[in-house]
A and B are shown apart, each in its own frame.
Chain A
Amino acid sequence: MNSTRRILGLLKPYRGKVLLGFLFQTVVIVTRLIQPLITRQVVNDVIIAGRHQLLVQLCLTLLGLSLTRAVSSYVRVQMMERASQNVAYDLRTGLFRHLQTMSFSFYDRNRVGEIMSRMTGDLEGVRDYLAGGIITMFEQGITFFGALVFMFTLSWQATLTILAMLPLIAWIAFRFRSRIRPAFREAREQTATLNTRVQENLAGIHVVKAFVREQYERELFEQENRKLLGVNLKITDIWRTYVPIMHGLSEICTPLVLATGSVLIATGHMDIGTLVGVTGYIWMLTQPMRMLSQIINSMTRASTSAEKIFYYLDLGPSIRDDENPQTVSERKGRVEFDRVAFSYDQQPVLQDISFVAEPGQTIAIMGATGAGKTSLVRLLSRSYDVISGRVLVDGVDVRKQRLKELRCGIGYVPQETFLFSESLFENIRFGRPDASLDAVVAAARAAQAEEFIEEMPLKYETVVGERGVGLSGGQKQRTAIARALLIDPSILVLDDATSAVDMQTEYLIQQHLERSIQGRTTFIIAHRMSSVKNADLILVLNQGRIAERGSHQELMALKGEYWQMWQDQLTSISGEGGGV
């Protein structure tokens, strides 16, 4: 119930609206409570006693009550909905902002689909509870006790008759609650599982079709789908075990009251009008009991949903700004790794990495697949934190710098390109949203992207990304290079950034890049020797350690791993016989 209290805490900024909502709701309930008294008067005084002159007055009172109720309930809805919408807005945008601070490792572990369902379905559950659930609880509570008081003044005997039924109905309601809660949770989890199943199937549909695994995939899907069906049917079964009985018991209250009333009338302790009035309260007394299951549903759903949302909110980013961040006076692009070690999920990835990159130098990183090349450059932008040692950019430990300032100075071209469903123009100026078209075109030109963009029907206005035009791997990579160049970074990181372009294009990119990288410290991860040989410093990684370091000439003279790679590639190009 801790999470329930926390949900209520979200309403705090809007307590004025909520209080007004409760106030008007109370007015609504009072008008309802008065109504049976009027009916009683109509029956007793007007019909039975024949005082017809009272009729118009009573009818007008009824209309007046109805009008008051209409206005109050209108205001009440406005207040409560406004408050709940504001809370949903706060929660959703707050959660979004919070998620933006979460580190890479969080996104490595949590699937997008799962986060999505928290921010949509779960959040909606909480909102619904705030808008409707709480007010329903309040409404039913006040109605119940109000009706109890009013009915008691009319006939305490009839009231006691109904009260006798209460414990039974309440007991059933709580039994229901304890059983339906785990079932709901199970249903939500199974929905998420099925969701992931479909998402993955669609993401890998090319593999599915290439291996003719459609049938296999269908079977997997049906398995999960049947499980979900089973859980849903279980919920139905729980529902129908308890809820109809609750309804039936509350219905039985009417004949019970009637029986009491009959005895009282027969013995002259009650009049007909009072009996009719009392029946008006039966509904108000039993309705809260009937609603109990619904309220419990909504409450349970909201609190389990809230648990998940709060789980994210309470998860602090593992990487955050230092409390006393240091400011770098000038961003020149000097990078120093000082005995850096890094591991991922307790698996050592980098060990004892030390090197210095002076401003404007080009550093090439080579090594076998999985040697830790990408991890190394990711430490630079503090996407992950080192385990020991430190990474210094312009003389200051990256952990001491403000993340934003640090990252603004680094242009990163990742291995796998992600573009947003926006125009190419917006995608390229992603890191500098105020860049002019000229600046964007210049960056595209430097990245060899201009040519293919000009060929597009809408040129820079072409919408790409998941919901737009599909680009080839090479086109995406060139767009990403342009994006990185546009922020005019002092450090540029090219993580295998040209793996998907053909060799001629790569050659052109490199020639252009040579101009663009002037004055920037550049990190290049590449497999083609041609891309790295002009680097000022070449680091050859082997199982997370620097095995060789130096310039092309130095490493060639060393006749070690680098020399071997060079030979391999030369051989592969010119053939064993040598000479083209």
Chain B
Amino acid sequence: MARPLRQLDDEVLQRPFNKSQFIRLMAYLKPYRRDVLLALLVMIAATVASLGSPYLMSRAVGMLTDGRFDGIWLILLGMAALSLLGAAFTRVRVRLMDYAGRKALATLREDLFAHVQSLSFSFFDTHSAGKILVRVMNDVDALNDLFTNGIVDVLINSLTVVLLLVIMLAVNWRLTLIGLCILPVLLFLMFRFKRVMSRNWQFVRAKRSNMNGYLHEALSGMRVTQLFVREEENAQTFEGANDEIRTGWMRAIRYNAGFWSALDVTGMLGTVLVYYFGVRSMGQGLQLEDLLLVIWYLNRIWMPLNMLSNFYNSLLTASASMERIFDIMDEQPKVRDTQGARRMPQISGQVTFEDVTFAYHKDKVVLRNINLDIKPGQTVALVGETGAGKTTIVNLISRFYDVTGGAVRIDGHDIREVTLDSLRSQMSVMQQDSFTFSGTILDNIRYGRLDATTEEVIAAARAVGADEFISQMPKGYDTVVSERGSSLSTGQKQLVSLARALLNDPRILILDEATSSVDTHTEMLIQKALAVLLRGRTSFVIAHRLSTIRNADVILVMEDGRIVEQGNHEQLINLPGGRYRALCEAQVRFMQS
């Protein structure tokens, strides 16, 4: 039987409106403030125009009742002019507001994306790609309505209500008050109902975002699902999640429908009251035209009032998106250029660790008191069990993380005192989880150095032994691979990534299990090629195969965040009772057993 979907989403049902974030958001409209102000003026004019029509109409009825026909054409002309003016105003307002809002949002999205690019690894360790994606795309889109309509509308609606009230009261204050006596009931209904409504809609949204998360995962893992014949259970889980949405939706819609029905009846009650008392006072100076005007205007007041009551809710909705966006915007990159950071000069390749300690979290120390001195051009191999801290060490060299204690120096410069760009651009890091972007193989390799010529790309591919399989493909280097690189085997992806890393012509090369899925023969070819290519470059290699390790100048054997043995193959293999020696012996025994 399928279990209910695990609720993993961080969507909170109710959150208060955050004023300072709203102000921050509005700052994006600042470059367009002239447009926004102009739009506002145009809208005020449009509002006045739209309110003018019923007024003129009621005057016309008055004139016709009295049999005064001569002035009527003026009123007709006025009404026609107002209609056309209204259309023109709308045209201008949409041009101004939509352009301003859309442009502001595009800027916000670009800022957000740029900020995400600046964040450090520790951020991406704790935030899944899916969630960040939702923020950059959907949450920014969710603000569109607020930007292009919301803010202007709220002002216009307020203005409409005020204008209507002023004119109605001026025309006949007694009748107006009678018509509005149901207003308190209505306001109560609006604000009471709306609260429940918005809670219900938020429930639906939360359920839906959870369903979307599940969907994303189910699609990504579809191959596993099919291989393990889990389709039925997954379908049931998915159906359960959808059923919750449907139920939540129907509950929410009940309130919506109820609200509209209540609005209809209460509104009509006001109209009826005006008729009743209006007709009774017809004899005492009340004109038909004024009665009609009050009724017509009364009918027009509910809509803007309703929209005003909606505004707070749409603010709350936008608030959730706003908060998620600024959550990321406020995230400071843990690793960044310090003040007065200098450019790293051409690296010659000396790498020093001075009593380096590192912890991802305060209570979990990963590296303890690491001391190292690697000479320019040396090849360093790191050996040890999974979790011993090998990857952490190389991640500190490229400053993907900052040390918790001690210092990492390259050519004597503390790497925290040079700019990140100048540091990393002289290094290439290749991780086990190789990644290909969707595009041609050529573009994928060229990612290592954007201005490389095709010849240089091919040379790099040839150097790592990737040229062979690439040129066998029908389209060769122009073969399009996808994001997950499904058309390439894992080993092939690693070769492409390796070529990319080499093309960058790095002074320091870091290979973190870079060839784990490559066959032995190819790997040996790579080794030979690397031996030539690495001449004069410092390199760090993490590998499980002894073949890769044994030729290194320095072998670091790691255990539990410490370096327990250090030396070259000859030295370590002759260390009685040494761990490296045990490792080699085990491996040989393993093969010969």
The bracket for how many chain B residues form the interface is 35 or more
How many residue pairs between the two chains, A and B, have CB atoms under 8 Å in the bound complex? Answer: 454
Q: How far is the CA of A199 from the CA of B136 in the complex (A)?
A: 10
CB distance from A123 to the nearest CB of B (A): 11
Neighbour of B243 across the interface among A89, A120, A412, CB < 8 A: A89
User: Number of A residues contacting the other chain (C-beta, 8 Å)?
Assistant: 172
Cβ–Cβ < 8 Å partners of A279 in chain B: 57
CB distance from A65 to the nearest CB of B (A): 8
Whose C-beta in chain A lies nearest to the C-beta of B420? A212
Interface pair B91/A244, CB less than 8 Å apart: yes
Q: How far is the CA of A529 from the CA of B593 in the complex (A)?
A: 12
Neighbour of A202 across the interface among B2, B118, B132, CB < 8 A: B132
CB distance from B221 to the nearest CB of A (A): 5
Cβ–Cβ < 8 Å partners of A74 in chain B: 257-258, 260-261
- The answer, yes or no, to whether A168 is at the interface (CB within 8 Å) is no
User: 8 Å CB contacts to A: which residues of B575-593?
Assistant: 581, 583-588, 590-591
Whose C-beta in chain A lies nearest to the C-beta of B267? A66
Q: How far is the CA of A262 from the CA of B220 in the complex (A)?
A: 70
Q: How far is the CA of A572 from the CA of B515 in the complex (A)?
A: 15
- The answer, yes or no, to whether A47 is at the interface (CB within 8 Å) is yes
| Given A89-B246, A259-B76, A345-B487; A431-B222 close (CB under 8 Å) | no
With most chain A CB atoms within 10 A of its CB, the pick from B124, B279, B523 is B279
Interface pair A202/B129, CB less than 8 Å apart: yes
Q: How far is the CA of A69 from the CA of B261 in the complex (A)?
A: 8
Given A262-B72, A574-B588: 20 more A-B contacts, CB < 8 Å:
A47-B279, A55-B276, A66-B267, A70-B261, A101-B231, A111-B483, A120-B212, A229-B103, A251-B87, A252-B83, A255-B76, A369-B494, A414-B224, A431-B229, A433-B230, A467-B128, A470-B125, A500-B513, A504-B385, A533-B591
Interface pair A81/B106, CB less than 8 Å apart: no
- The answer, yes or no, to whether B338 is at the interface (CB within 8 Å) is no
Q: How far is the CA of A200 from the CA of B444 in the complex (A)?
A: 13
Neighbour of A100 across the interface among B79, B235, B550, CB < 8 A: B235
CB distance from A38 to the nearest CB of B (A): 10
- The answer, yes or no, to whether A52 is at the interface (CB within 8 Å) is yes
| Given A42-B279, A229-B106; A70-B262 close (CB under 8 Å) | yes
User: 8 Å CB contacts to B: which residues of A365-396?
Assistant: 366-371, 374, 381, 383
Cβ–Cβ < 8 Å partners of A254 in chain B: 53, 57, 79, 83
User: 8 Å CB contacts to B: which residues of A247-296?
Assistant: 247-249, 251-252, 254-255, 258-259, 261-262, 265-266, 272, 275-276, 279
Cβ–Cβ < 8 Å partners of B279 in chain A: 42, 46-47, 52, 55
| Given A119-B215, A214-B118, A433-B230; A66-B264 close (CB under 8 Å) | yes
List 28 A–B pairs whose Cβ atoms lie within 8 Å, in order of A's numbering.
A59-B276, A66-B267, A71-B261, A86-B246, A89-B242, A93-B238, A100-B222, A107-B222, A120-B215, A194-B137, A195-B133, A195-B137, A204-B483, A211-B424, A214-B117, A221-B110, A221-B113, A225-B113, A258-B79, A410-B227, A412-B227, A414-B223, A415-B517, A418-B223, A420-B217, A433-B233, A473-B433, A502-B544
- The answer, yes or no, to whether A530 is at the interface (CB within 8 Å) is yes
Interface pair A370/B492, CB less than 8 Å apart: yes
Neighbour of B492 across the interface among A99, A369, A414, A431, CB < 8 A: A369
Interface pair B546/A572, CB less than 8 Å apart: yes
- The answer, yes or no, to whether A145 is at the interface (CB within 8 Å) is no
Cβ–Cβ < 8 Å partners of B573 in chain A: 580
Cβ–Cβ < 8 Å partners of B386 in chain A: 472, 474-475, 500-502, 505
Neighbour of B591 across the interface among A107, A244, A569, CB < 8 A: A569
Cβ–Cβ < 8 Å partners of A408 in chain B: 229
User: 8 Å CB contacts to A: which residues of B200-221?
Assistant: 212-213, 215-221
Cβ–Cβ < 8 Å partners of B586 in chain A: 503-504, 507
Interface pair A344/B487, CB less than 8 Å apart: yes
Q: How far is the CA of A104 from the CA of B590 in the complex (A)?
A: 37
CB distance from A241 to the nearest CB of B (A): 8
Cβ–Cβ < 8 Å partners of B473 in chain A: 347
Q: How far is the CA of A360 from the CA of B292 in the complex (A)?
A: 93
Interface pair B222/A466, CB less than 8 Å apart: no
Interface pair A240/B94, CB less than 8 Å apart: yes
Interface pair B520/A565, CB less than 8 Å apart: yes
User: 8 Å CB contacts to A: which residues of B96-110?
Assistant: 98-99, 102-103, 106, 109-110
Q: How far is the CA of A502 from the CA of B229 in the complex (A)?
A: 31
Interface pair A236/B53, CB less than 8 Å apart: no
CB distance from B345 to the nearest CB of A (A): 16
Q: How far is the CA of A228 from the CA of B144 in the complex (A)?
A: 13
The segment out of B181-189, B248-256, B348-356 that lies at the interface is B248-256
With most chain B CB atoms within 10 A of its CB, the pick from A62, A93, A209 is A209
- The answer, yes or no, to whether B304 is at the interface (CB within 8 Å) is no
Cβ–Cβ < 8 Å partners of A214 in chain B: 114, 117-118
Interface pair A251/B53, CB less than 8 Å apart: yes
User: 8 Å CB contacts to A: which residues of B243-286?
Assistant: 243, 246, 249-250, 253-254, 256-258, 260-262, 264-265, 267-269, 271-272, 275-276, 279-280, 282
| Given A247-B87, A431-B230; A100-B106 close (CB under 8 Å) | no
Cβ–Cβ < 8 Å partners of A251 in chain B: 53, 82-83, 86-87
- The answer, yes or no, to whether A8 is at the interface (CB within 8 Å) is no
- The answer, yes or no, to whether A92 is at the interface (CB within 8 Å) is yes
- The answer, yes or no, to whether A355 is at the interface (CB within 8 Å) is no
Interface pair A78/B213, CB less than 8 Å apart: no
Cβ–Cβ < 8 Å partners of B332 in chain A: none
- The answer, yes or no, to whether B536 is at the interface (CB within 8 Å) is no
CB distance from B480 to the nearest CB of A (A): 10
Interface pair A96/B260, CB less than 8 Å apart: no
Q: How far is the CA of A169 from the CA of B545 in the complex (A)?
A: 77
Interface pair B261/A248, CB less than 8 Å apart: no
User: 8 Å CB contacts to A: which residues of B123-162?
Assistant: 124-125, 128-133, 136-137
| Given A66-B264, A210-B398, A466-B128; A112-B216 close (CB under 8 Å) | yes
